[in-house]
Structure 1
Amino acid sequence: MITSCSSSHCPTCTSTKKALIINDDDDRFSELPDHLLRSILSLLDSKLAVQTCALSPRWRSVWKGVPALNLDTKSFNDSDEFDQFVSGIISRRHDSAPIHEISIENDTNKYGGRIEYDINESCGELFAYAASHGIRRLRAVEDFGDGFSHYVYDQGFLPLAPGFRILTTLHLQCTKLFCPAPLVEPFSGFPNLRDLTLKNCYWAIDEWDGDGEGPDICLRICGNQLLNLWIEVSDVCKVEIFAPNLESFVSYETYWSPDFGEFDLPFLDRVYVGFRAYGFTDGRDYRFATHLVNLLRRLHHARTLVLNSDTIEVYFVFTISMQFTFRFICYLRNNFNNFIIKLSMFSI
C-alpha cells in the first residue's frame, strides 16, 4: 500500500518537489520556439551565443540563424582567433537565414595594433556577406586605430554594395574614414538611412601625403529619409546637410567646430549642441563663436534647443565679452520655444 506524506518537513517529499520544479523549468525553457531563442541570442556577444548553444543538443544549431552578429575583439585572445571565428561563423550560418544587424567593437590598444591587417581581412569577408543578405543596421566602434577602416569606411565600398541600399541605421564611433577628395559625400548611397551617428570620427584624404596642413574637407550629408543625426567629427572644415525630414540633430565637438553651410530643416524638433571647454584660451579667435551663431540661426525651426554649459563658456572665451554672451543667451531664449542649458551633454 502506497501512502503519501503531507509533512512539509519530510526530506523525501521536499527533494521530490524540488526535482519536479527543476524539471518543469528545464522543460519549459527547452520547448521555447527557435525564433524566440534566436531573438534572445541576438542580444549576446556572438562568441558567447555560440558557446551557449553548445550546452544542449537542442540548441546546437540555433546560433546559425541568429539575425544579429555582435563582435568584440576583447572576447578573443589574439588576432588569429578572431579571424577564425569570423570565417567560421560566416561559413556555418544558414544561407537562407536573414541578418539584420552587425556590431563590431575593436580595441586596437589591446594588441598594440598587431591585429589591424587580420581585422581588415575578416571584416571585408563579414561585410561582403552582410551586403549580400541585406543588412539594416551597422554599428562599428574603433579605439582610434585603422583596424578595419579600409573595408568599412572606404567611400567606394559601402555605397556601391547593392545590399546596403536598405541600410536604415549607421553608427560609426572613434574611426578614421578614408575619402578620395576634399568634398566628401559618403552616405548618398544609402537612400533608406534614417539614423546616422558619427562620433569622434576623423578623415583621411588619399591625395594628401601628410606634409603640412591637409586640404579643407567639406562633409556633405544627404538623405531624404534621414530622421536622426549625431555628428562629432574632426578635421572637417565645413558640413553641409541636405535632409529635409530631419527631426533630431546633435552636434558635439571636442576641439574643433566646423562651419555649417546653408540648410533648411523645417521638421526639426530637438537640437543638442555641445562643446568641451578645456584647452581654449585664445580670445582673439572668433571663428568658433561665428560658427556657433550661424549654426543656431539655421536651426531656428527646432522646438527644443539644449546647450551644455561648456558651450556658453567657450563662446565667452572667444568673444571676451559678457555683454555679447548675455545677448547671445537672450537671442536663444527669444527664438526657441524650449531653451535648456545642461551641465553636461553626456546625459542626453
Structure 2
Amino acid sequence: MSNLADEVMISPKKRARHDNEEKNQDRLSDLPDCLILHILSFLNSKHTVQTCILSKRWKLMWKRIPTLILDSSNFPTVKHFSIFVSKILTLRDTSTALHALDLHRHGSIEPQLLKKVLDCVYSHNTHLQQLGISLHGETCLILRGISSCCALTSLKLSLYSRGSYNFDTTLFPKSLNLPALTSLDLTNFAFCGDENGRAEPFLTFTRLNSLVISSCTVKDAQILRISSETLVNLAMHNISSSFTKIELSAPSLCAFTINGSLDQKICGSGLFC
C-alpha cells in the first residue's frame, strides 16, 4: 500500500503536515465508516489513496470504497497512470462490491491494462450501476464486457479503435441488452440500419430517461429513429450528415437539445415535420 501511495507522489512536506494533524482530534474521523466511504466515493481514486496517510484508521479505508474514478490527466505520465491503475485494481478489497467505475484515458491504453479493468468490471457485473469509459482501445472487447453488466443504470462511452487517428466510429451493437439502464451517453458511434432503411438502436432500453449522442452517425440507412415511452431528456451534439431524417417517438420528452449544425429533417409527435 505504501508503494501505491508513492505512485501518487505525496510530497515529504505534505506527509509531514498530515503526520502532525494525526496527533489532533480529526472531526472527519469521528464519522462512521459508511459515511466516510460515501464521501470518499466522490473523489478521484488518486486522492482517495492519498488519505491512507491521515491516520491508522484511514490506512486501509481506500480499499473499501465502492467507486473507482481513474483519470490519466491526474498523472504526470502514462506510465505513472498505468502503474497506479494496475496496483489499485490488485490491492482493493475484492469483497467490496464495485458500484461505479469511470475510466478516462486521453489516447490509447495498453491492452493488458484494459483487460485488467474489464476483468474487474466482469467480476462486479451484478453490482455495477454506473460505468463510464473514454479511451482508444479494443472496442469490441469493451462492448462485450459491458453486455454482462445487467445492473447498469448509467452508461457513458466515448470509444475509438486502438491506434486510430482518423476517429473511425465504433459500431453500436444491436444486441446490447441492459434492462435497468436509465441514462445513456454515447460519443463516436455508428448505428446500423435494418431492412426498412431505419436505424433504431435504443429499442431494448425500456427504462431510458436520459439520452445524449455526440459525433454519431448512421450506417446503411437514411433514418435514425428514437422511440421510447420513458425518455425525458434528449441531447444531440455534432451529428453526422450521413443520414437525412430523425424520427422521434417519445411522448414523455420534456427537453430536447441540439448543438452544432443539423442537416436532418426532424419528425415526431408534438414536434414538426
Tell me which interval the TM-score lies in, with the shorter structure as reference length.
0.7 to 0.9
1:6-56 deviations in Å (ceiling 9; x for gaps): xxxxxxxxxxxxxxxx89973322222111221222121112211222332
CA contact (8 A) 2:99 2:128 kept: yes
Is 1:300 equivalent to 2:270 in the alignment?
yes
1:126–1:259: structure 2 CA closer, same or farther, 3 Å change rule? farther
Higher-Rg structure is: 1
| Matches of 1:91 and 1:69, distance apart in 2 | 13
After TM superposition, give the deviation of residue 57 of structure 1 in Å: 1.1
Structure ranking higher on relative contact order (CA contacts 8 Å, 6+ apart): 2
TM-score, normalising length from structure 2? 0.73
- Secondary structure of the 1:250 match is strand
1:74–1:27: structure 2 CA closer, same or farther, 3 Å change rule? closer
Letter in 2 for 1:123: V
CA contact (8 A) 1:79 1:119 kept: no
Q: What does 1:122-141 correspond to in 2, within 5 Å?
A: 122-131=116-125, 133-141=126-134
1:238-287 deviations in Å (ceiling 9; x for gaps): 4232321111111222553644564521111111122248xxxxxxxxxx
CA contact (8 A) 2:184 2:208 kept: yes
Letter in 2 for 1:157: G
Is 1:274 equivalent to 2:255 in the alignment?
no
Letter in 1 for 2:131: L
| Matches of 2:182 and 2:229, distance apart in 1 | 12
Residue 193 of structure 1: aligned partner: 181
TM-score, normalising length from structure 1? 0.59
Residue 90 of structure 1: aligned partner: 89
1:298–1:184: structure 2 CA closer, same or farther, 3 Å change rule? farther
CA contact (8 A) 1:119 1:147 kept: no
After TM superposition, give the deviation of residue 66 of structure 1 in Å: 0.7
Letter in 1 for 2:32: P
| Matches of 1:27 and 1:124, distance apart in 2 | 37
Q: What does 1:1-348 correspond to in 2, within 5 Å?
A: 26-108=25-107, 113=108, 115-131=109-125, 133-142=126-135, 146-147=136-137, 149-152=139-142, 154=143, 156-159=144-147, 161=148, 164-173=149-158, 175=160, 178-179=170-171, 184-185=173-174, 187=176, 189-199=177-187, 201-203=188-190, 218=199, 220-222=201-203, 223-237=205-219, 238-256=223-241, 258-260=243-245, 262-276=247-261, 288=263, 291-292=264-265, 295=266, 297-298=267-268, 300=270
1:140–1:186: structure 2 CA closer, same or farther, 3 Å change rule? farther
1:101–1:42: structure 2 CA closer, same or farther, 3 Å change rule? same
| Matches of 2:72 and 2:175, distance apart in 1 | 26
| Matches of 2:150 and 2:43, distance apart in 1 | 26
1:211-250 deviations in Å (ceiling 9; x for gaps): xxxxx99451121100111112334244232321111111
CA contact (8 A) 1:90 1:129 kept: no
| Matches of 1:77 and 1:66, distance apart in 2 | 24
| Matches of 1:74 and 1:89, distance apart in 2 | 17
After TM superposition, give the deviation of residue 59 of structure 1 in Å: 0.3
Residue 211 of structure 1: aligned partner: none
Residue 12 of structure 2: aligned partner: none
1:255–1:239: structure 2 CA closer, same or farther, 3 Å change rule? closer
Identical pairs, percent = 24
| Matches of 2:212 and 2:99, distance apart in 1 | 22
| Matches of 1:258 and 1:63, distance apart in 2 | 48
The alignment yields a C-alpha RMSD, in angstroms, of: 3.2
CA contact (8 A) 1:165 1:190 kept: yes
Letter in 2 for 1:202: F
* Residue-pair matches, total: 238
After TM superposition, give the deviation of residue 197 of structure 1 in Å: 0.9
Letter in 1 for 2:207: Q
| Matches of 1:252 and 1:258, distance apart in 2 | 15
| Matches of 2:53 and 2:198, distance apart in 1 | 50
After TM superposition, give the deviation of residue 196 of structure 1 in Å: 0.7
- Secondary structure of the 2:150 match is helix
1:96–1:117: structure 2 CA closer, same or farther, 3 Å change rule? closer
| Matches of 1:135 and 1:225, distance apart in 2 | 17
| Matches of 2:66 and 2:217, distance apart in 1 | 36
